[in-house]
Amino acid sequence: MPEFLSTYLGRIDYREQDVLEFPAGLPGFEQERAFLPVELPDVQPMILFQSLQTADLCFMTLPVLAADRSYKLSMAPEDLRTLGLPEDRQPGIGTEVLCVAIIMVAKDRPPTANLLAPLVVNLATHRAVQAIQVNTNYSHQHELQAPEPERVCA
């Protein structure tokens, strides 16, 4: 089983079939083409995307539906082609694709999610892109709200 030594996560054992392939890399990180999604029980539903080329490159992500329950994916035809998905319709989040937003944390500001350009992964092939949304009003700085506490009693 392959292993990778991450600056932030320590030694990670993984299976080759779990690696996500970004054929064009990510904007600003074009050379980074292989990432490992890491889920830690203490921070769910967050998913960490650890680069397999650069030990100190790890993105915090959150499923888009956790950031915005009514999120609608609108991918460009070239992104659908890159993922090997039909171009005549948008893929289903959770059934055909994993769709996550990169989280930004800054001092003295609430955390934000990039809903304008989510990371989209074809669940069948593990090919992925950062898909800039078309015809949308989503922001790259969508402010995250603390979840509402569950009411146990009326």
Domain residue extents for the chain: 3-143
State how far the Cα of 141 lies from the Cα of 115, in Å rounded to an integer.
7
84 by DSSP, 3-state: which? coil
pTM score over 0.85: yes
C-alpha torsion 30→32→35→41, nearest 10: -90
Q: Partners of 112 in the beta sheet?
A: 104, 143
Instruction: Tell me which H or E stretch contains 42.
Output: none
pLDDT higher than threshold 80 for residue 115: yes
* C-beta neighbour count of 129 within 10 angstroms: 25
Tell me which fold the domain 3-143 belongs to: BH3618-like (2.30.290)
Which pLDDT band holds residue 150 (cuts at 50, 70, 90)? Answer: low
The whole-number average pLDDT for the span 103-130 is 94
User: CA angle at residue 63 from 67 to 92, to 5 degrees?
Assistant: 110
State how far the Cα of 55 lies from the Cα of 96, in Å rounded to an integer.
29
pLDDT higher than threshold 70 for residue 146: no
